[in-house]
Amino acid sequence: MSLKQLMKQQGVTQQCAADYLGVHQTRISQICCGVGELSLQQATLLAKLLGCSVDEIARAAKCETGESANENLFGNQRRGLSNVKQG
């Protein structure tokens, strides 16, 4: 399911998400189109707003571009965490 579909399913508009995250609506549009990135904090807030997990947000972002979900969503932040062990 894409981020657009997740938002529509929950009745959340781009403007509502933007207000909740403290960003401009065009930023949410970019993220929905697969050309924008979220910080981990923003992804966590968006997941809370949509009633889902950050993993679901990442998978939704992957639907938009076909890229690796974490690479697309978090961009450089994810690359910086590549040496961190996951338990």
pLDDT tens digits, one per residue of 8-29: 999 999 999 999 999 999 999 9
Rounded Cα distance, 23 and 36, in Å: 12
Q: Which of 52, 53, 40, 38 is nearest to 9 (CA)?
A: 52
The domains found in the chain, sorted by start residue, are 3-76 (1.10.260.40)
Task: Look up the pTM and report it.
Answer: 0.72
Q: What is the mean pLDDT of the chain?
A: 80
Rounded Cα distance, 70 and 80, in Å: 12
pLDDT tens digits, one per residue of 44-78: 999 999 999 999 998 887 766 555 444 545 554 44
User: In the prediction, which pLDDT does 8 show?
Assistant: 95
Listed as own residue / partner, the contacts of 43-46 with beta carbons closer than 8 Å and 24 or more positions apart are 43/73, 43/74, 45/20, 45/21, 46/17, 46/20, 46/21
Reported as a pLDDT band with limits 50, 70 and 90, residue 34 is confident
